[in-house]
């Protein structure tokens, strides 16, 4: 299975992080090497590496590379942490690295960089185990013949392994169940079309790509039985930030009486944010809307744009949360 594909790893000399450049998918599978905090921050902010858990993993591993190449810990951390604001996994992973760093400094018997590398790899391994568990719990909800809708990409390409929203899908397929996945294309950067449809079809999952504005019609035709989405930050009251458009899907699911599940690791839950109103929503450049994936102009130049990258789904619209600890119903 392509799920074994490693898309974020150290080079043998530890001086670079090799990551799959996701902006080139599905046309090209090309890896790039990141050798500084600046390069890591650029890769995250340009979405070469994206998806909340993978952002955290790449940040932790990227910090090790920056230190190996002589950068100062605090400066490198500051640069990487400011790459994107919404996914809490970014600061979560870097704060964990900082805690490990101060522990290591107390004990003179260890070479800091080796221990830090171990910590970063542990974050990656733990995420893979977490995703597996999300898959095992979530797959129990999937029955033969179902239609499942997902939005954006919360799959293998967004995590250490397996994905979050796609983990139940992979686990159910491995258990021999037969169902169909509908993938929203996910404007403006098309993570659903370019990434979700890509990895699901590569794994022989029955996948149908739809435009974002088609979900209501499919639901009205009883083609969707369940929705699985990922999350970038879940507030203490359960309000959930995820890719822009998730809220619209949740409203539709409520209207049509379709279960709507948020899948994510506990590292995406942020108790510092009391409600969704406390979550900072990233706003990106208008060129992502006025041109098709940076290439072809699709709107008159000079038109006003508004391009929030995420929205917040209020907890009342969420049926339950699937984490490494199980299914927590609202």
**Residue 158 contacts ligand MRU per CB under 6 A:** yes
- CB-closest chain residue to ligand MRU: 230
Q: Provide the Cα torsion 200, 204, 209, 214; round to 10°.
A: -100
Alpha-carbon dihedral sign for residues 56, 183, 291, 29:
positive
Residues 89-148 that bind ligand MRU (CB under 6 A): none
Residue by residue, DSSP assigns 94-154 as HHHHHHHHHHHHH-TTS-HHHHHHHHHHHHHHHHHHHHHHHHHHHHTT--TT-EEEE-S--
51 is a site residue for ligand MRU (CB under 6 A): yes
Task: Tell me the window of 8-16, 25-33, 49-57, 108-116 that interacts with ligand MRU (CB under 6 A).
Answer: 49-57
- Residue placing its CB nearer to ligand MRU in the complex, 62 or 104: 62
Question: Taking the complex as a whole, how short is the minimal distance between the CB of residue 191 and ligand MRU, in angstroms?
Answer: 5
Q: Whose Cβ is closer to ligand MRU: residue 138's or residue 230's?
A: 230
User: With respect to ligand MRU, which residue has the nearer C-beta, 101 or 162?
Assistant: 162
- Alpha-carbon span 173 to 168, nearest angstrom: 8
- Contact range with ligand MRU by CB under 6 A, out of 110-118, 157-165, 297-305, 314-322: 157-165
State which of residues 37, 91, 191, 196 lies at the interface with ligand MRU (CB under 6 A): 191
Query: Does residue 52 interact with ligand MRU by CB under 6 A?
Result: yes
Q: Which of 127, 212, 232, 270 is catalytic?
A: 232
Window of 43-51, 91-99, 120-128, 168-176 that interacts with ligand MRU by CB under 6 A: 43-51
Stretch 246-305 residues interacting with ligand MRU (CB under 6 A): none
The CA dihedral of 19, 24, 30, 33, to the nearest 10 degrees, is -40
Q: Does 53 bind ligand MRU (CB under 6 A)?
A: yes
**230 near ligand MRU, rule: CB under 6 A:** yes
Residue owning tokens 């018997």? 109
Q: Which letter does DSSP use for residue 303 in this model?
A: -
What minimum distance in Å lies between the beta carbon of 253 and ligand MRU?
16
User: Which residue reads 């209020």 in tokens?
Assistant: 314
C-beta closer to ligand MRU: residue 117 or 284: 284
Q: For ligand MRU, give the closer residue by CB, 8 or 116.
A: 8
* Phi and psi based region of residue 292 (left: phi greater than 0; alpha: psi -120 to 50; beta: remaining): beta
Q: Could you confirm whether 225 is annotated as catalytic? A: no
Cβ neighbors of 267 (< 8 A, separation 6 or more) are 53, 56, 88, 89, 92, 93, 127, 130
220-259 per-residue burial string, b: 16 or more CB within 10 A, e: under 16 = eeebbbbbbbbbbbbbebbbbbbbbbbbbbbebbeeeebe
From 60, 87, 190, 215, residue interacting with ligand MRU (rule: CB under 6 A):
87
Pair 179, 141: CB distance under 8 Å:
no
Residues annotated catalytic, as ranges: 232
Q: Which residues contact ligand MRU (rule: CB under 6 A)?
A: 47, 50-53, 87, 152, 154, 158-159, 163-164, 191, 230-232, 242-243, 309
């Amino acid at each position: 299975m392509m799920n074994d594909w490693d898309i974020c790893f150290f080079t043998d000399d530890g001086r670079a992080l090799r990551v799959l450049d996701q902006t080139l998918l599905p046309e090209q599978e090309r890896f790039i090497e990141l050798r500084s905090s600046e390069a890591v921050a650029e890769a995250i902010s340009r979405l070469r590496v994206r998806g909340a858990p993978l952002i955290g993993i790449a940040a932790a591993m990227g910090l090790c590379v920056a230190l190996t190449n002589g950068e100062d810990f605090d400066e490198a951390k500051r640069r990487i942490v400011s790459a994107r604001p919404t996914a809490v996994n970014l600061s979560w992973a870097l704060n964990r690295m900082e805690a490990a760093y101060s522990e290591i400094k107390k004990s003179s018997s260890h070479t800091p960089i080796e221990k830090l590398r171990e910590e970063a790899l542990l974050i990656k391994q733990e995420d893979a185990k977490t995703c597996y568990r999300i898959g095992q719990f979530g797959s129990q909800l999937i029955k033969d013949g179902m239609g499942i809708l997902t939005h954006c990409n919360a799959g293998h390409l967004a995590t250490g392994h397996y994905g979050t929203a796609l983990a139940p899908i992979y686990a159910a397929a491995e258990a021999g169940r037969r169902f169909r996945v509908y993938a929203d294309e996910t404007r403006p950067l098309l993570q659903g079309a370019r990434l979700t449809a890509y990895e699901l079809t590569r794994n022989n999952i029955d996948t149908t790509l739809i435009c974002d504005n088609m979900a209501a019609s499919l639901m009205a035709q009883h083609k969707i039985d369940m929705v699985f989405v990922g999350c970038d930050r879940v507030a203490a009251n359960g309000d959930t930030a995820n890719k822009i458009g998730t809220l619209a899907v949740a409203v539709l699911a409520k209207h049509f009486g379709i279960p709507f599940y948020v899948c994510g690791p506990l590292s995406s839950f942020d108790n510092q944010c009391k409600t969704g109103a406390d979550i900072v929503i990233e706003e990106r450049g208008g060129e992502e809307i006025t041109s098709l994936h940076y290439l072809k102009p699709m709107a008159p130049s000079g038109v006003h744009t508004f391009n929030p990258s995420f929205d917040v789904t209020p907890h009342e619209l969420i049926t339950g949360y699937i984490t490494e600890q199980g299914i927590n119903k609202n």
